[in-house]
Amino acid sequence: MAQFDEAAVRRRLTADLEQIQRDIYERTQGEQAITSSMEASNGTGISSEQADEASAVAEYDRNQAMLENDRALSRKIEAALERLDAGKYGVCERCGQPINPRRLEALPYVTLCVNCQAIVERAV
């Protein structure tokens, strides 16, 4: 008895992955633009430009953090698709019990059941 609609899950994961990869692409383009504008303003010593540079750096850091999130999420989704192919999707990696379908619906790329997730998070 399947506890989830495999085709629907696959469509959803694939759509999420495409969305994230577009986001990564856009952020990567932005990263290059910020890097070149920082190089252009190097050594000017004008305070207003330094302020611009500081905000560009903050923007860059924020972008990097979002990019890192996107990359981590895309790895999780890719892993979920692989588990789907392998027939292991929806099974907790730690205890081997089925993951609650409602949990999977909210977070389709999770690999742990609620109990194991709580145990792992306490251990960190």
Which listed range, 10-18, 31-39, 61-69, 88-96, lies at the site for Zn ion (CB under 5 A)?
88-96
**Across the chain, how many H-helices and E-strands are there?**
4, 0
| Binding flag, residue 104, Zn ion (CB under 5 A) | no
Q: Among residues 33, 66, 95, 118, which is the contact residue for Zn ion, using CB under 5 A?
A: 95
Q: Which is nearer to Zn ion, 95 or 107 (CB)?
A: 95
Residue 99 CB coordination number (10 Å): 23
**Alpha helix segments (H runs only) across 41-113:** 47-85, 101-106
Residues 90, 112: contact at Cβ < 8 Å?
no
Report residue 29 as tokens. 């383009």
Q: Which is nearer to Zn ion, 110 or 116 (CB)?
A: 116
Q: Among residues 92, 108, 109, 111, which is the contact residue for Zn ion, using CB under 5 A?
A: 92
Q: Which is nearer to Zn ion, 110 or 113 (CB)?
A: 113
Q: Which is nearer to Zn ion, 75 or 94 (CB)?
A: 94
| Binding flag, residue 113, Zn ion (CB under 5 A) | yes
- Number of residues this chain uses to bind Zn ion (CB under 5 A): 5
How far is it between the farthest Cα atoms of the chain? 68
Rounded CA separation 54/60 (Å): 10
Using CB under 5 A, list all residues that contact Zn ion: 92, 94-95, 113, 116
